Chain A
């Protein structure tokens, strides 16, 4: 049974701070990793994808992947109140488009 684990939160950070979101996965053959943001009542929106060990930066977002530790994280710099949402970590083992999702971390950015 593939598992993706996230701390449910809420993670509360002040505006302008760095928010750090973490995710661990159980299946060593996992190859593709994704972070989605979901606002209440809305559908998931893709933020980042990462496939190789190391860091990948896109604007205020940085995804970090460590396949040896089976760990992926998302850093949000200069957090804004509009970043308040649930962040979902998803993993694909490339047997097709079958994402396994973590339960999500609720982020609250306080002005």
Chain B
């Protein structure tokens, strides 16, 4: 099976702009979770989508949003970019069927740099 794919792999934006990142999960997986990784804060959960519905949300401002399509592909959007949004954005895919034992597999990430 193909793994989780994320596009683009690298992005450079300026403050105030917005950005959209894309994630395609492993075939058959219905849950997609997004994480932000920075040197200072580590890996932090942004949100999870399952069957096109947001099932969980982390403690991030409303500038961070996402959605999931009927084919389970997901996008996340960050509006009004700030310098502190520079990070590695990781998408993780899982079956979503049983949260007791569900396992998340990460994509390669999108490296976002805000200037």
The residues of A with any CB-CB pair to B shorter than 8 Å are 31-32, 34, 36, 42-46, 49, 51, 88, 90, 92, 94-104
Contact = CB atoms under 8 A, between A and B. Distances in A.
B11 to A, nearest CB: 16
Given A42-B108, A43-B106, A44-B106, A97 B100 contact: no
B43 A88 contact: yes
Interface stretch (B14-22, B64-72, B76-84, B89-97): B89-97
Contacts of B108: 42-43
A96 B106 contact: no
The SS class assigned to the B binding surface is: strand
A96 B42 contact: no
A51 B103 CA distance: 11
Contact of A95 (B31, B43, B99): B99
Contact of B106 (A45, A49, A92): A45
Contact of A44 (B50, B90, B94): B90
B56 A96 contact: yes
